[in-house]
């Protein structure tokens, strides 16, 4: 499990998405899961994935970084790649992780707050939380992380 900066590149057109995470491996599988299910919250990246296909995207770790410096270093990469012109939604590095729900009576306890349109689509996938958790755990186990 490593924290750092990663890049998703569309091999067809060279467009990139720059991101940071405290756990790059888990974040990558979160991206993959959302993209494969057509539920990714980044519409530009999702449309491109749907158009070009999974095989046309490359995931790379650009730098392993201490958690305290994630946004600072991510910003340097966003600027150098001008990633906001491609798939990054914002010019500024910031936490795009949606806040966790903590209400124990919530139908999606301890899950991401999802936009309304996406929330209804996620409900159509039975046990989506368990499926995502299993995919991440399986991958982490296979890597010996």
Residue 112 in any domain: the answer is no
Residue 20, beta-bridge partner list? 5
Residue 42 in any domain: the answer is yes
Per residue in 59-97, pLDDT tens? 999 999 999 999 999 999 999 999 989 999 888 887 554
In sequence order, what are the residues at sequence separation of 6 or more whose Cβ sits closer than 8 angstroms to the Cβ of residue 134?
none
119 has a pLDDT exceeding 60: no
Residue 107 in any domain: the answer is no
d(C-alpha 128, C-alpha 100), whole Å? 16
Residue 103 in any domain: the answer is no
* Residue span of the structural domain in which 72 resides: 4-98+129-143
Residue 133 in any domain: the answer is yes
Q: Is residue 51 within 8 Å of 13, Cβ to Cβ?
A: no
What's this model's pTM, rounded to 2 decimal places?
A: 0.66
Q: How far is CA 27 from the centre of its chain?
A: 5
CATH of the domain at 28: 3.40.1440.10
Residue 77 in any domain: the answer is yes
Nearest C-alpha neighbor of 21 from the set 6, 43, 37? 6
The DSSP result for 60-126, as a single string, is EEEEE--GGGHHHHHHHHHHHHTGGGTT-S-SS----PPPBP--TTSSSTTSB---HHHHHHHHTST
The confidence score (pLDDT) of residue 120 equals 55
102 has a pLDDT exceeding 50: no
Total number of domains in the chain = 1
């Amino acid at each position: 499990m490593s924290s750092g900066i990663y890049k998703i590149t569309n091999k067809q057109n060279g467009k990139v998405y720059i991101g940071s995470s405290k756990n790059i491996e888990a974040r990558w599988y979160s991206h993959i899961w959302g993209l494969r299910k057509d539920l990714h919250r980044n519409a530009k990246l999702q449309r491109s994935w749907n158009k070009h296909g999974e095989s046309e995207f490359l995931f790379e770790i650009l730098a392993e970084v201490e958690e305290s410096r994630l946004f600072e270093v991510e910003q340097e990469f966003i600027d150098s790649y001008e990633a906001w012109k491609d798939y990054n939604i914002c010019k500024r590095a910031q936490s795009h992780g949606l806040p966790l729900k903590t209400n124990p009576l919530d139908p999606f306890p301890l899950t991401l707050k999802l936009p309304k349109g996406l929330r209804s689509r996620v409900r159509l996938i039975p046990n989506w939380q368990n499926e995502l958790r299993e995919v991440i755990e399986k991958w982490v186990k296979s890597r010996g992380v």
